[in-house]
Chain A
Amino acid sequence: MTVKEVVKALNLECLTGGEELDREVNGGYCGDLLSWVMSKAQSGNAWITIMSNINIVAVAVLTDVSCIILCEDVTPEEDCIQKAEEQGVVILKSSMSAFELANKIGNLI
Protein backbone atom coordinates (compact mmCIF):
# COMPACT_ATOMS: atom_id res chain seq x y z
CA MET A 1 0.00 0.00 0.00
CA THR A 2 1.32 3.45 -0.90
CA VAL A 3 1.55 6.45 1.41
CA LYS A 4 -1.16 8.13 -0.66
CA GLU A 5 -3.49 5.18 -0.12
CA VAL A 6 -2.85 5.23 3.63
CA VAL A 7 -3.62 8.98 3.68
CA LYS A 8 -6.93 8.35 1.95
CA ALA A 9 -7.92 5.31 4.00
CA LEU A 10 -7.23 6.96 7.36
CA ASN A 11 -8.19 10.49 6.37
CA LEU A 12 -4.80 11.90 7.32
CA GLU A 13 -3.86 15.50 6.79
CA CYS A 14 -1.02 15.88 4.31
CA LEU A 15 1.38 18.66 5.37
CA THR A 16 4.15 17.94 2.86
CA GLY A 17 4.80 15.46 0.11
CA GLY A 18 5.02 15.25 -3.63
CA GLU A 19 6.06 12.19 -5.58
CA GLU A 20 7.16 10.58 -2.32
CA LEU A 21 3.47 9.94 -1.65
CA ASP A 22 3.70 7.10 -4.14
CA ARG A 23 6.19 5.22 -1.95
CA GLU A 24 5.21 1.88 -0.54
CA VAL A 25 4.55 1.62 3.22
CA ASN A 26 6.11 -1.67 4.26
CA GLY A 27 5.54 -1.44 8.01
CA GLY A 28 5.66 1.08 10.80
CA TYR A 29 7.61 2.30 13.76
CA CYS A 30 6.40 4.30 16.78
CA GLY A 31 8.87 6.35 18.80
CA ASP A 32 9.87 9.78 20.02
CA LEU A 33 13.47 9.25 21.12
CA LEU A 34 15.37 10.16 17.99
CA SER A 35 18.40 7.93 18.55
CA TRP A 36 16.11 5.01 19.18
CA VAL A 37 14.19 5.70 15.99
CA MET A 38 17.46 6.15 14.06
CA SER A 39 18.56 2.75 15.18
CA LYS A 40 15.30 0.82 14.79
CA ALA A 41 13.09 2.33 12.07
CA GLN A 42 13.51 0.62 8.72
CA SER A 43 13.52 1.97 5.20
CA GLY A 44 9.93 2.28 3.95
CA ASN A 45 8.33 2.32 7.41
CA ALA A 46 5.68 4.83 8.40
CA TRP A 47 7.12 6.59 11.45
CA ILE A 48 4.50 7.59 14.02
CA THR A 49 5.59 10.19 16.56
CA ILE A 50 4.60 13.19 18.66
CA MET A 51 8.01 14.78 18.12
CA SER A 52 7.56 17.75 15.82
CA ASN A 53 10.79 19.74 15.78
CA ILE A 54 12.96 20.16 12.69
CA ASN A 55 15.28 17.29 13.65
CA ILE A 56 12.66 14.70 12.72
CA VAL A 57 13.34 15.57 9.08
CA ALA A 58 17.00 14.55 9.28
CA VAL A 59 16.03 11.34 11.07
CA ALA A 60 13.47 10.59 8.35
CA VAL A 61 16.02 11.23 5.60
CA LEU A 62 18.70 9.09 7.22
CA THR A 63 16.43 6.16 8.06
CA ASP A 64 14.65 6.48 4.70
CA VAL A 65 11.19 6.04 6.22
CA SER A 66 8.33 6.45 3.73
CA CYS A 67 6.56 9.09 5.84
CA ILE A 68 6.30 10.74 9.25
CA ILE A 69 2.85 10.64 10.84
CA LEU A 70 2.35 13.15 13.64
CA CYS A 71 -0.30 11.81 15.97
CA GLU A 72 -2.64 13.39 18.55
CA ASP A 73 -2.95 16.57 16.45
CA VAL A 74 0.63 17.63 17.02
CA THR A 75 1.53 20.54 14.76
CA PRO A 76 5.09 20.89 13.46
CA GLU A 77 6.99 24.14 13.51
CA GLU A 78 7.09 26.08 10.24
CA ASP A 79 10.83 25.49 9.73
CA CYS A 80 10.20 21.77 10.06
CA ILE A 81 7.68 21.82 7.21
CA GLN A 82 9.98 23.92 5.08
CA LYS A 83 12.90 21.56 5.63
CA ALA A 84 10.73 18.53 4.90
CA GLU A 85 9.67 20.07 1.59
CA GLU A 86 13.29 20.75 0.67
CA GLN A 87 14.34 17.21 1.53
CA GLY A 88 11.34 15.43 0.00
CA VAL A 89 10.05 14.10 3.32
CA VAL A 90 6.33 13.37 3.66
CA ILE A 91 4.75 14.68 6.88
CA LEU A 92 1.20 13.61 7.69
CA LYS A 93 -0.98 14.52 10.63
CA SER A 94 -3.80 12.85 12.52
CA SER A 95 -5.86 13.32 15.65
CA MET A 96 -5.50 9.60 16.42
CA SER A 97 -3.10 8.28 19.06
CA ALA A 98 0.05 6.37 18.10
CA PHE A 99 -1.66 3.16 19.23
CA GLU A 100 -4.75 3.75 17.08
CA LEU A 101 -2.68 4.71 14.05
CA ALA A 102 -0.36 1.72 14.37
CA ASN A 103 -3.31 -0.60 14.76
CA LYS A 104 -5.07 0.80 11.70
CA ILE A 105 -1.98 0.88 9.51
CA GLY A 106 -1.15 -2.65 10.58
CA ASN A 107 -4.55 -3.78 9.39
CA LEU A 108 -4.25 -1.91 6.11
CA ILE A 109 -0.88 -3.08 4.85
Chain B
Amino acid sequence: MTDEILSLNYQVNGSDLQSAGVASSDVKKVLRKLGVSPEIIRKVAISMYEAEINMVIHANGGTIDVSISPEQIKVVLADNGPGIANIDLAMKEGYSTAPQTIREMGFGAGMGLPNIKKYADIMNITSELGKGTTVEIIVNIPQ
Protein backbone atom coordinates (compact mmCIF):
# COMPACT_ATOMS: atom_id res chain seq x y z
CA MET B 1 0.00 0.00 0.00
CA THR B 2 1.15 3.51 -0.80
CA ASP B 3 0.35 6.70 1.08
CA GLU B 4 -1.12 8.24 -2.01
CA ILE B 5 -4.24 10.32 -1.48
CA LEU B 6 -6.73 11.03 -4.20
CA SER B 7 -8.62 14.30 -3.76
CA LEU B 8 -11.98 15.17 -5.29
CA ASN B 9 -13.82 18.46 -4.93
CA TYR B 10 -17.39 19.36 -5.69
CA GLN B 11 -19.49 22.47 -5.65
CA VAL B 12 -23.09 21.66 -4.71
CA ASN B 13 -25.77 23.87 -6.23
CA GLY B 14 -28.24 24.77 -3.52
CA SER B 15 -31.15 25.75 -5.71
CA ASP B 16 -31.26 22.49 -7.57
CA LEU B 17 -32.67 19.45 -5.82
CA GLN B 18 -32.89 17.86 -9.25
CA SER B 19 -29.17 17.37 -9.50
CA ALA B 20 -28.56 16.54 -5.85
CA GLY B 21 -26.68 13.28 -5.59
CA VAL B 22 -24.38 13.97 -8.53
CA ALA B 23 -21.29 14.26 -6.31
CA SER B 24 -22.18 11.09 -4.37
CA SER B 25 -22.79 9.17 -7.59
CA ASP B 26 -19.45 10.35 -8.96
CA VAL B 27 -17.58 9.31 -5.81
CA LYS B 28 -19.24 5.92 -6.00
CA LYS B 29 -17.97 5.48 -9.58
CA VAL B 30 -14.44 6.49 -8.60
CA LEU B 31 -14.40 4.08 -5.65
CA ARG B 32 -15.67 1.29 -7.84
CA LYS B 33 -12.89 1.96 -10.36
CA LEU B 34 -10.35 1.89 -7.54
CA GLY B 35 -11.58 -1.58 -6.61
CA VAL B 36 -12.96 -0.61 -3.19
CA SER B 37 -15.30 -3.31 -1.82
CA PRO B 38 -19.09 -2.91 -2.32
CA GLU B 39 -19.70 -2.77 1.46
CA ILE B 40 -17.36 0.18 1.88
CA ILE B 41 -18.77 1.92 -1.21
CA ARG B 42 -22.28 1.50 0.22
CA LYS B 43 -21.27 3.11 3.50
CA VAL B 44 -19.70 6.09 1.73
CA ALA B 45 -22.53 6.44 -0.81
CA ILE B 46 -25.35 6.47 1.74
CA SER B 47 -23.70 8.77 4.25
CA MET B 48 -22.43 11.20 1.62
CA TYR B 49 -25.75 11.33 -0.24
CA GLU B 50 -27.65 12.16 2.93
CA ALA B 51 -25.24 14.96 3.73
CA GLU B 52 -25.34 16.24 0.17
CA ILE B 53 -29.15 16.31 0.21
CA ASN B 54 -29.13 18.12 3.56
CA MET B 55 -26.88 20.77 2.05
CA VAL B 56 -29.33 21.40 -0.78
CA ILE B 57 -32.49 21.32 1.34
CA HIS B 58 -31.28 23.36 4.29
CA ALA B 59 -28.18 25.34 3.38
CA ASN B 60 -28.36 26.51 -0.22
CA GLY B 61 -25.50 24.23 -1.26
CA GLY B 62 -21.85 24.23 -0.35
CA THR B 63 -18.59 22.44 -1.05
CA ILE B 64 -17.56 18.82 -0.70
CA ASP B 65 -13.95 17.68 -0.38
CA VAL B 66 -13.27 13.98 -0.65
CA SER B 67 -9.90 12.41 0.08
CA ILE B 68 -9.28 8.76 -0.58
CA SER B 69 -6.29 6.98 0.87
CA PRO B 70 -5.63 3.24 1.10
CA GLU B 71 -6.74 3.38 4.75
CA GLN B 72 -9.83 5.56 4.65
CA ILE B 73 -12.26 7.69 2.73
CA LYS B 74 -12.88 11.11 4.21
CA VAL B 75 -15.68 13.38 3.05
CA VAL B 76 -15.97 16.95 4.34
CA LEU B 77 -19.13 18.84 3.48
CA ALA B 78 -19.14 22.54 4.35
CA ASP B 79 -21.94 25.01 3.89
CA ASN B 80 -22.73 28.61 4.73
CA GLY B 81 -26.31 27.86 5.66
CA PRO B 82 -28.34 28.82 8.72
CA GLY B 83 -26.62 26.32 11.02
CA ILE B 84 -28.27 23.75 13.30
CA ALA B 85 -29.81 25.12 16.49
CA ASN B 86 -29.79 21.84 18.40
CA ILE B 87 -27.55 19.11 17.01
CA ASP B 88 -28.74 16.48 19.52
CA LEU B 89 -32.31 17.03 18.42
CA ALA B 90 -31.34 17.01 14.73
CA MET B 91 -29.62 13.65 15.27
CA LYS B 92 -32.87 12.08 16.49
CA GLU B 93 -34.51 9.76 14.00
CA GLY B 94 -37.76 11.26 12.74
CA TYR B 95 -36.93 14.86 13.63
CA SER B 96 -36.99 17.12 10.59
CA THR B 97 -37.32 20.79 9.76
CA ALA B 98 -37.75 20.16 6.04
CA PRO B 99 -40.69 22.01 4.44
CA GLN B 100 -43.74 20.22 3.07
CA THR B 101 -42.64 20.61 -0.57
CA ILE B 102 -39.47 18.69 0.22
CA ARG B 103 -41.42 15.98 2.05
CA GLU B 104 -43.63 15.49 -0.99
CA MET B 105 -40.51 14.60 -2.95
CA GLY B 106 -39.73 11.76 -0.55
CA PHE B 107 -37.23 13.59 1.66
CA GLY B 108 -37.57 15.09 5.12
CA ALA B 109 -38.19 11.84 6.98
CA GLY B 110 -35.74 12.89 9.67
CA MET B 111 -33.35 10.10 8.77
CA GLY B 112 -30.55 12.05 7.12
CA LEU B 113 -28.21 12.63 10.04
CA PRO B 114 -29.07 9.30 11.74
CA ASN B 115 -28.25 7.50 8.48
CA ILE B 116 -24.91 9.29 8.27
CA LYS B 117 -24.08 8.29 11.83
CA LYS B 118 -25.13 4.72 11.13
CA TYR B 119 -23.04 4.26 8.01
CA ALA B 120 -19.96 6.39 8.74
CA ASP B 121 -17.25 4.98 10.99
CA ILE B 122 -16.64 8.47 12.30
CA MET B 123 -18.98 11.42 11.96
CA ASN B 124 -18.12 14.89 13.20
CA ILE B 125 -20.55 17.72 12.93
CA THR B 126 -19.88 21.33 13.81
CA SER B 127 -22.38 24.08 13.36
CA GLU B 128 -22.77 27.73 14.17
CA LEU B 129 -26.06 29.53 13.85
CA GLY B 130 -26.04 32.02 11.02
CA LYS B 131 -22.63 30.84 9.81
CA GLY B 132 -22.97 27.30 8.58
CA THR B 133 -22.39 23.63 9.18
CA THR B 134 -19.52 21.27 8.48
CA VAL B 135 -20.04 17.53 8.42
CA GLU B 136 -17.04 15.24 8.34
CA ILE B 137 -17.56 11.62 7.39
CA ILE B 138 -14.84 9.00 7.68
CA VAL B 139 -15.19 5.45 6.44
CA ASN B 140 -12.28 3.17 7.22
CA ILE B 141 -11.02 0.64 4.72
CA PRO B 142 -10.21 -2.61 6.57
CA GLN B 143 -6.58 -3.58 5.93
Contact = CB atoms under 8 A, between A and B. Distances in A.
20 contacts: A32-B106, A33-B106, A33-B111, A35-B107, A35-B112, A36-B109, A39-B118, A51-B106, A53-B106, A58-B21, A58-B22, A58-B25, A59-B49, A61-B25, A62-B24, A62-B28, A62-B46, A63-B45, A63-B46, A79-B18
Interface residues of A, number: 22
B50 interface: yes
Contacts of A53: 105-106
A98 B17 CA distance: 26
Interface of A: 32-36, 38-39, 43, 51, 53-59, 61-64, 79, 87
A61 B23 CA distance: 12
A34 B107 contact: yes
The 7 closest A-B pairs by CB, nearest first: A58-B21, A35-B111, A34-B106, A62-B45, A33-B109, A51-B106, A61-B25
Interface SS of chain B: helix
Interface residues of B, number: 23
Given A35-B115, A43-B38, 17 more contacts: A34-B107, A35-B109, A35-B111, A38-B46, A38-B50, A39-B119, A51-B106, A53-B106, A55-B21, A55-B106, A58-B20, A58-B25, A61-B25, A62-B28, A62-B45, A64-B42, A79-B18
A contacts with B: majority SS: helix
